[in-house]
Structure 1
Amino acid sequence: MSTTVNLVALRPGGAHDLALVNSIMQEAFDPRYGEAWTTPQCMGMLSLPGAWLTLAELNGEAAGFALARSAGPEAELLLLATRPASRGRGVGGALLRAVVEEARERRVLDLHLEVRAGNAAARLYQREGFTKVGERRGYYRGRNGQLFDGETFSRKIG
C-alpha cells in the first residue's frame, strides 16, 4: 500500500518571485471575474511598508501564494491563490494560517479580507475564524465589463 503525503512548505517571497506569483494567478483566477492583479500592481504593493508575500510549495512544486499588508493595528489579506492542481490539499489553509501568524507577530488586532461573492474560498476563510462583515456591490469588474459583488470578512487576531 502506498501513502501520498502532502508536504506544504512556506517561505517568504519578494519582488524576485513576481513571475511565479503571476503564473499562479493566471492558473488560479478565472479571468471573467477580474480578480487577478498585474505584475506592476503586485510590485507596487510589495514596495510599500508593511507588505509581505508568502509562497507555498506542495511536495517541492510551487503551489500558491498570499500577499498581505499591515498598517498599525490592522492588516489586510490582499491576494491568496492556489494552483487548481493543489486545491483541497492544505495549501490555502497553510497560507492563511501563515498570514494570521505574521499579522500576530506584527501586533495586528484585526485582519480583513475581501472575496468575490460565490467564491468557494469563503468557506476556507470561515473555517479559519473569519466572519462576514459586509458587502461591496459591483466591486469586481470582469473581462467583459460585468460587475460582481465582493464580500468583506474580518477576524480578531490580538
Structure 2
Amino acid sequence: MSGALNLTELREGGTQDLGEVNRIMQDSFDPRFGEAWTSAQCLGMLALPGVWLVVASLDGEDAGFALARAIGDEAELLLLATRPDARRRGIAGALLRAIVAEARARGVVQLHLEVRAGNDAVRLYRREGFEKVGERRNYYRGKMGQAFDAHTYARKLG
C-alpha cells in the first residue's frame, strides 16, 4: 500500500493529544540522535502563546503531528513526526502544508525549522520550498553521548 494517500483527517490538536503525540514521537525518532522531546517539554510549549499543534489521522488512527510557534511575523516548525508504519503516504507533507497555511493565516512571512544533518526529512523540506540557511555543529546529543550537527532551513511565505 506504499505511496497510497489514505489521509482521513487533519485537525487542530491540544493538550488532550499529548499522550498520542508522545507515542508517535517515541516510535518515530531514533533515540540514537536525541531529537525527541519529553512530554513535559511538549506541555510547556503548548502553554505558550502563538503555539499550535496539528494532528493527522490515517484510517481513523492518529498517525502524525506537527508542532509550531509564531512570534511576530516569523514562525518555527518545532516538531514533525509520522509513525513509521504510516510513512510514504503523504502525511508529513500534508502536516507541513497545514503548518505553512496556519503560519500565513497568522501573518507569518518566514518559517524556520531545524533538522539533524542526514535526516531523510530534508527531502520533504526542500520539496516544500525550504532552503538551508545555517548549521549548528554538535547540536543534538544522542543516547550514547555522540554529537550530531543540526541544519537550519527557512522558507519565505510572504
TM-score range relative to shorter protein: over 0.9
CA RMSD for the aligned pairs? 0.9
How big is each residue's C-alpha offset from its partner over 1:67-108, in whole Å with a ceiling of 9 and x where there is no partner? Answer: 000000100000000000111000000000000000000000
Q: 1:5 offset after TM fit, Å?
A: 5.4
Q: 1:6 offset after TM fit, Å?
A: 1.3
Indicate if the aligned counterparts of 1:64 and 1:81 stay in contact, CA closer than 8 A: yes
Q: 1:59 offset after TM fit, Å?
A: 1.6
Task: Please list every run of at least 4 consecutive aligned residues from structure 1 whose deviation after the TM superposition is greater than 2 angstroms.
Answer: none
When normalised by structure 1's length, the TM-score is 0.96
What does residue range 140-155 of structure 1 map to in structure 2 within 5 Å? 140-155=140-155
User: What is the CA–CA distance in structure 1 between the aligned matches of 2:156 and 2:55, rounded to whole Å?
Assistant: 24
User: What is the CA–CA distance in structure 2 between the aligned matches of 1:59 and 1:155, rounded to whole Å?
Assistant: 31
User: What is the CA–CA distance in structure 2 between the aligned matches of 1:123 and 1:5, rounded to whole Å?
Assistant: 18
1:132 — aligned with what? 132
- Structure 1 unpaired stretches of 5+: none
How big is each residue's C-alpha offset from its partner over 1:106-136, in whole Å with a ceiling of 9 and x where there is no partner? Answer: 0000000000000000000000000011111
2:58 — aligned with what? 58
When normalised by structure 2's length, the TM-score is 0.96
User: What is the CA–CA distance in structure 2 between the aligned matches of 1:45 and 1:59, rounded to whole Å?
Assistant: 28
User: What is the CA–CA distance in structure 2 between the aligned matches of 1:85 and 1:62, rounded to whole Å?
Assistant: 12
Task: Give the percent of matched residue pairs that are identical in Structure 1 and Structure 2.
Answer: 68
What does residue range 113-124 of structure 1 map to in structure 2 within 5 Å? 113-124=113-124
Distance 1:150 1:5, change over 3 A: closer
Residue identity opposite 2:6 in structure 1? N
